[in-house]
A and B are shown apart, each in its own frame.
Chain A
Amino acid sequence: MRRKTASAAAAGAVLALVLSACGGGGGTPQEPGAKGADAVKQEFNAGLTKVFNPSTKKGGTLKYAHSGNWDSLDPGDTYYGYSFNFGRYYWRTLTTYKPVPGPEGNQVVPDLAEALGVPGDEGKTWTYKLKSGLKFEDGTPITSKDVAYAVARSFDKEVFAHGPSYLNELLDWPKDYKGAIKDKDADIKSAIETPDDQTIVFKLKKPFASFDYIVQMPMTAPVPQAKDTGAKYQEHVISSGPYMFETNEIDKRFTLVRNPNWDPATDPNRPALPDKIEVQLQVNADDLDNRLIAGDIHVDIPGTGMQPAALGKVLPDPALKGRTDNPTIPRLWFISVIPDVAPLNDVHCRRAVQYAADKVSNQTAYGGEFSGGEIATNVMPPGISGQEKFDPYPSAGFKGDVAKAKEELAACGKPDGFETIMSFRADRPREKALAEAMEQSLAKVGIKLTLKGFPASDYFSNYAGNPEYVKKNGIGLAAHGWGSDWPDGYGFLQAIIDSRTIRDAGNYNLSVKNTDVDKLVDQASAELDQTAREKLWVDADKKVMEDASILPVLWAKSLLMRGQGVTNQFYNEGQSMYDYSMLGVQ
């Protein structure tokens, strides 16, 4: 009891330090001595660089709502950013994002582990040592074997189909391994070793520098083998975090309450302020915004921004706009310029498209600056560690350079232009508007686009992401969007620029097929020095732009609204949304 009180006091002190550090340099947006919701000074973008409404007060119920549904609550079977963020209420991973606003927020810090990973064999092994005193909700100690088991069970993508497969690909698994559930007795020492209850060693097929980012994903959240119910585990996940499930009505709602076996002394990253967390699922998206505005709910879980209907109400009203934050998120809206389809197999024709595009019209098509985003001139968005902005295809006011485009067309032997097809997701009005804007701007240089919409659900599996279909049907341009899995070069770029990821169907890299780019991906992935690694990713970005196989459109922005009466709210760059684990209620 005494130890618990001391631990709580220590955690409170850590939180106070974090809050004061975050709020430093200009004061916090809360007025000195302010008490209650009415006294908090609302300010547009106040949650981007500071902790808004800081407080260490515990208690109350934090109310979340979601317009859709989770892919799965199982840490081994989920792949949404909000799920990674929210899940930290009931799971802990080896590392996690630093819970602060500003650029520091995309750094990882230890969570279950005592320290960040120790690389060995030039980045082919990564060793983590677990803290002592870690327990599951039932009081069972958490050991390195529970982490190893969690990773090994998530290997089975037939059962845990939704989760990321990074560790399937990176670790040196035994041949024909089927995962911890189907291959209970398999020897996986080639991939993971647990020499003692505190230590876990990951063994990779080749050096990989960003491993600390990989292990912040929930595949490393410990799962007790004895309590694992496989595909049904999501119905009752055994908590390793500060909260545990009280109720769980799949597809409808669930509530979390305090986990009595979570020891705050082991967890400086989570203040665990509310007593209870309520989550309502499948809420009408427009009604959700209205309830957020009215204060009936505190947080919109997906964290992707308000609906168009609410924007018209919020942006013109200074009081409501003052409650919002408008971050640039690590997501790029872009157009794949596909070199498989003539005449775009000629780099000059691809560059003609780059020059001819009217980027302002494209931005308007996506909803403008607030809900669309910032005009993108290269692939990596701001917020990605080490990102550099550059513009290899400049034009006055981003309106397109017709003269340069015509020069490039002449260089590719098509001085009068050419015809091609542009695909987009038919059920996404903004992509349709983008395609129409492109049709108009490219027509000015004689490039005639035929627009074709496809259902979003099959877009990558059957159409734009299916190379055979693309070649057969002559799709030269394809609207696309991509967000980072974690905020470094690999986390954002690899899936969309590495040509070796391209398979028969379901591709996200539709157009970058350049061996020089592949080489840079390999070099950067293995480079342990952060500065050198970041430079290599910028080089890769430059090479892709030189290749002109991606036409960047926007670095996406979202308009997020802070909840009424919510404390410690701020945008975390690592999570690309508000940091949920820090929130409290007044």
Chain B
Amino acid sequence: MLTYVIRRLIGAVAMLVVVSMVTFAIFFVVPQLAGATPEAFASRYVGRAATPETVQLIAERLGFNDPVVVQYARFAKGIVVGAEYDYGTGVEHCPVPCLGYSFLNQQPVWPDLLDRMPVTFSLALGAAIIWLIAGVSTGVVSALRRGSFFDRLAMGTALAGVSLPIFFTGMVTLVVFSYGLNLTAPGGSWTDFGENPGEWAYNLILPWITLAFLFAATYARLTRAGMLETMGEDYIRTARAKGLREREVVVKHGLRAALTPILTLFGLDFGLLIGGAVLTESTYSLPGLGKYAIDAIANNDLPKVMGVTLLTACFVVLASLIVDLLYAVVDPRVRLS
């Protein structure tokens, strides 16, 4: 078990190194292959009044004239030991893990990410609880009552949930519940949990439900399919023949086996979400990692985009690892070695 975990952790670190290289190449090498000059990179950090001389100075100061390998080595070194950035009128220390420095707002990226993490984590956690409970229980009941009115209604609703994009459902819910009925908080509302838990939940309830609606639909359909398959297995018949109570048959033998693919999906979904629920945060103007990423893309602020990308990759790799470890708990047939 321990060997397995260590081996996976080493694999995860190697994966992150590769991700960082690929990300760096996408942002800095590919544009160069397409003809972008160091000045073209620098021009993203200057205003419209900048002269060519200013752009050249900025390119030099930001190191865009250095070979790509040197630029990557500088970036990687920053992650491991931190870095110093000259912002023109001073030098700022970027603490470990320094994921870059935004010269558009003169801030290191990592503290920004830390600042925004609670928003995204709160959103993802609340939504995940709702969609897991709603999605899995709906899927189970639908499977047990296959063909019933409930099954048809639930699967119809699930189809709508999967089909409707969140920027649409988000806008509609805001207009109806926040601006029409004044039941929920308007867009952009965020309170830290430690500051006021009640307000924290009030501000997030609409994004939670909207986001959960999308995911619950997928999970309901997946659970239903898994349960239908599992409940037809021989060992379920055996369990019933042994005289086990139906609840025990369904939960202990049926659901447990059907949960394995759901757990895999959940790990990836949750990992991606805590790396930034881009559409939900944008629709509800929540100052989380997703909104941070989308605004950075809009402003061509590459260090921020790279920072979020790497952080998301970390979360996905971590979530996958946790899911693999949980397999052994959920499915007794799995042995970690």
Proximity bits, A502-525, B CB within 8 Å = 1, else 0: 011110100000000000000000
**Does B287 belong to the interface (CB within 8 Å)?**
yes
Closest to A156 in B: B88
**Does A197 belong to the interface (CB within 8 Å)?**
no
Query: Which residue of A159, A165, A250, A508 is within 8 Å of B88 (Cβ)?
Result: A159
Min distance, Cβ A496 to any Cβ of chain B, angstroms: 13
**Does A296 belong to the interface (CB within 8 Å)?**
yes
**Does B45 belong to the interface (CB within 8 Å)?**
yes
Query: Given the interface contacts A158-B88, A284-B187, does A293 sit within 8 Å of B46 by beta carbon?
Result: no
Min distance, Cβ A499 to any Cβ of chain B, angstroms: 17
Bound-state CA distance A157–B88 (Å) is: 10
Min distance, Cβ B105 to any Cβ of chain A, angstroms: 5
Bound-state CA distance A195–B317 (Å) is: 66
Proximity bits, B117-128, A CB within 8 Å = 1, else 0: 000000000000
- Across the interface, which residues of A come within 8 angstroms of B186, CB to CB? 287, 291, 294, 296
The residue among B35, B47, B52, B112 with the most chain A CB atoms within 10 A of its own CB is B47
**Does B33 belong to the interface (CB within 8 Å)?**
no
**Does A246 belong to the interface (CB within 8 Å)?**
no
Proximity bits, B52-63, A CB within 8 Å = 1, else 0: 101101100100
Bound-state CA distance A351–B135 (Å) is: 65
**Does A290 belong to the interface (CB within 8 Å)?**
yes
Bound-state CA distance A231–B91 (Å) is: 10
Bound-state CA distance A428–B35 (Å) is: 23
**Does A419 belong to the interface (CB within 8 Å)?**
no
**Does B148 belong to the interface (CB within 8 Å)?**
no
Q: Is the CB of B179 within 8 A of A286?
A: no
Query: Given the interface contacts A284-B285, A287-B187, A287-B283, does A293 sit within 8 Å of B179 by beta carbon?
Result: yes
Query: Which residue of A65, A162, A164, A503 is within 8 Å of B52 (Cβ)?
Result: A503
Question: Could you tell me how many residues of chain B have their Cβ less than 8 Å away from some Cβ of chain A?
Answer: 46
Q: Is the CB of B291 within 8 A of A282?
A: yes
Q: Is the CB of A165 within 8 A of B51?
A: yes
Bound-state CA distance A289–B69 (Å) is: 46
Q: Is the CB of B287 within 8 A of A252?
A: yes
Closest to A313 in B: B175
For the residues of A in contact with B, the DSSP-based class is loop
Q: Is the CB of B295 within 8 A of A162?
A: no
Query: Given the interface contacts A230-B89, A231-B89, does A163 sit within 8 Å of B52 by beta carbon?
Result: no
Query: Which residue of A181, A229, A293, A462 is within 8 Å of B40 (Cβ)?
Result: A462
**Does B87 belong to the interface (CB within 8 Å)?**
yes
**Does A531 belong to the interface (CB within 8 Å)?**
no
Min distance, Cβ A283 to any Cβ of chain B, angstroms: 4
Bound-state CA distance A250–B104 (Å) is: 11
Q: Is the CB of A161 within 8 A of B295?
A: no
Taking CB atoms and an 8 Å cut-off, the chain A residues in 176-196 that contact chain B are 181
Bound-state CA distance A190–B105 (Å) is: 33
Interface size class of chain A, counting residues whose CB lies under 8 Å from the partner chain = 35 or more
**Does A232 belong to the interface (CB within 8 Å)?**
yes
Proximity bits, A131-172, B CB within 8 Å = 1, else 0: 000000000000000000000000011110111110000000
**Does A198 belong to the interface (CB within 8 Å)?**
no
**Does B188 belong to the interface (CB within 8 Å)?**
yes
Min distance, Cβ B84 to any Cβ of chain A, angstroms: 15
- Across the interface, which residues of A come within 8 angstroms of B292, CB to CB? 251
Query: Given the interface contacts A158-B88, A280-B188, A506-B43, does A287 sit within 8 Å of B51 by beta carbon?
Result: no
Q: Is the CB of B179 within 8 A of A282?
A: no
Min distance, Cβ A375 to any Cβ of chain B, angstroms: 27
**Does B316 belong to the interface (CB within 8 Å)?**
no
Q: Is the CB of B107 within 8 A of A250?
A: yes
Taking CB atoms and an 8 Å cut-off, the chain A residues in 466-514 that contact chain B are 503-506, 508
Closest to B35 in A: A462
Min distance, Cβ A75 to any Cβ of chain B, angstroms: 14
Query: Which residue of A69, A229, A283 is within 8 Å of B187 (Cβ)?
Result: A283
- Across the interface, which residues of A come within 8 angstroms of B61, CB to CB? 158
Q: Is the CB of B106 within 8 A of A284?
A: no
Taking CB atoms and an 8 Å cut-off, the chain B residues in 22-44 that contact chain A are 35-36, 39-40, 43-44
- Across the interface, which residues of B come within 8 angstroms of A461, CB to CB? 39-40, 43
Query: Given the interface contacts A250-B107, A291-B187, A296-B179, does A157 sit within 8 Å of B51 by beta carbon?
Result: yes
Q: Is the CB of B187 within 8 A of A232?
A: no
Q: Is the CB of B188 within 8 A of A158?
A: no
Closest to B281 in A: A284
Min distance, Cβ A339 to any Cβ of chain B, angstroms: 23
Q: Is the CB of B282 within 8 A of A284?
A: yes
| Interchain residue pairs with CB less than 8 A apart (24) | A69-B299, A71-B47, A157-B51, A158-B57, A158-B58, A161-B45, A161-B58, A229-B89, A229-B90, A230-B87, A232-B90, A252-B287, A282-B291, A282-B295, A288-B285, A290-B179, A294-B186, A457-B44, A457-B300, A458-B43, A461-B39, A462-B35, A505-B39, A506-B55
